[in-house]
Chain A
Amino acid sequence: MPLLEVENIDVFYGDVQAIFGLSLTIEEGQTLAVIGANGAGKSTLLKSIAGLCSPATGEIRFNGERINDVPPHRRVPLGIALTPEGRRIFPSLTLEENLLVGAHSKRSGHWNLATLYDTFPLLADRKNRLGTNASGGEQQAAAIARALMSNPRILLLDEVSLGLAPVVVEQIYSALPAIVEQGTTVLVVEQDVNQAMKVSDRVQCLLDGRTVLEGKPSELSRERIASAFFGI
């Protein structure tokens, strides 16, 4: 049984439809990269899985159970964690408190403060810094670590490298294998196609709210991706 199945969902913002009959499947332990142009619906997809958007039609199943009507805060205990677009670090909490809030749902597992500080040494040095004062890279690392504190079965990462210095992108991607190693399933949204191809088992490309291409990175040529990206 796949860990997560998205089946034929339509998602709207008011009158505007952002996703059209989209489906997606991911097996436990896999890493799936979702790519696509601006406004393709990638963030909307992740928000639907996390519960911040609710599909008008279609079904989202997690571990075989339909979760369409489960509110976002109840999806966390099930094992779904989202690192949202824009990091959304709590500015008046220290970085460590940010991580502790991540553990709010009390799921147990490999990840705790100690193991995360091992994986993200830059956080260990700055744990008492207020969220508001942390740099973009520190915030991004903290956002990922915060999501891991809930020991999710699936980690949803949105725009991991947006606005980050190349050196930070490198650091963060180098932490990814450690996460995957713990059996965590990862769904990553990435602008940088090269990065996406490097880290994932499978790639799914969206265009205007629909899937236009999917497959293993090794099987997809640059040209096919490029044309799928813009529908040409």
Chain B
Amino acid sequence: MQWANAIVQGVILGGLYALLAAGLSLMFGVMRLVNLAHGALAIVAAYMGMVLVNKTGIPPFATLLIVVPVMALVGWVLQRTLLNTALNRQALAPILVTFGLAVILQNLMLELFTADNQSIDVGSLAGASIQITPDIAVGVFPLITFVVGVFVIAALQLYLAKTTTGRAMRATSDDREAAQLMGIDHRHIYALATAIAVGLVGLAGVFLGVRTQFNPTFGDVTLIFAFEAVIIGGLGSLWGTLWGGIILGVAQVVGAQAFPSSGVLLGHIVFLLVLAFRPTGLFPKVVNG
């Protein structure tokens, strides 16, 4: 029963990873951009949510109505200013620029909010749970996170596959110049993709802020797990990212059940095994040519 519980909790944790990774996956997929500022941006959103809750007293979930659009706007501006220029430079540029951005954001937050641990208070929801069997109980909030994660991935997948803009995004990701020749403004498309991605980071950040305590340097920890989810699933494949998150979550929790000192380690090892045997991830987007 412990094992069943571990699997259930792992799947649920995977939902959080997928939610965290969705924006990363989108930017990876559309712009081939490895966004190392992803974690820091999530923490920015968490602080934003916290300040809103503390200052205005609005319910935590209502902050999403402000945090997500504001983060989306941040994403838009970021792309139009720094990232579009970076994408025109050498291959290393985006990695370096987003890394620099992460350092800047982290330390600005340190100046603004100090290194104190903070959290977004959701009151009694924090401890609420649903009893599934006598031995398995699932937290309501983690469950909400999981459902939101799945919903976000599904919506994003549909958006990319079925809408004109989604198609334009994929086309631009394949060949930027050719897309321009189709009448697509690549800077607009990229900015839109980044806006969506950073908006999703905002969503994930608020959920993270409710789930645990955060401080300005907390982003690094989440970043590596989100990356693993994206890569296990295969670059650019959103369903892959969801599966990647779930596989990672289950590996960590079930791993910890077997070897409590090595849950995180076993998660990493599963990740490396996937890479060793399927270097392009489990659900790669295209056969590379």
Contacts and interface: CB of A to CB of B under 8 A. Distances in A.
Interface stretch (A61-69, A93-101, A190-198): A93-101
B286 A101 contact: no
Given A104-B168, A132-B286, A90 B174 contact: yes
Contacts of A74: 183, 185
Given A91-B289, A92-B170, A132-B287, A50 B183 contact: no
21 contacts: A52-B177, A73-B182, A88-B175, A88-B178, A88-B181, A89-B178, A90-B174, A90-B179, A91-B174, A91-B286, A92-B173, A93-B167, A97-B171, A100-B164, A100-B167, A101-B171, A101-B182, A104-B182, A104-B184, A131-B174, A147-B181
B285 interface: yes
Contacts of A84: 177-178, 181
A81 B180 CA distance: 10
Given A82-B181, A132-B286, 20 more contacts: A50-B181, A51-B180, A71-B185, A73-B180, A73-B182, A73-B184, A84-B181, A90-B171, A90-B174, A90-B175, A90-B179, A91-B174, A93-B174, A98-B171, A101-B167, A101-B171, A104-B183, A105-B183, A131-B174, A146-B182
A76 interface: yes
A81 B168 contact: no
B183 A93 contact: no
Residue from A50, A90, A93, A150 whose CB has the most chain B CB atoms within 10 Å: A90
A102 interface: yes
A92 B183 contact: no
Nearest to A52: B177
A132 B287 CA distance: 8
The number of chain B residues touching the other chain, given as a range, is 20 to 34
A93 B174 CA distance: 9
Interface of A: 50-52, 71-74, 76-77, 81-82, 84, 88-93, 97-98, 100-102, 104-105, 130-133, 146-147, 150
A90 B169 CA distance: 11
Contacts of A102: 182
A51 B186 CA distance: 14
A150 B183 contact: yes
A129 to B, nearest CB: 12
A15 B177 CA distance: 22
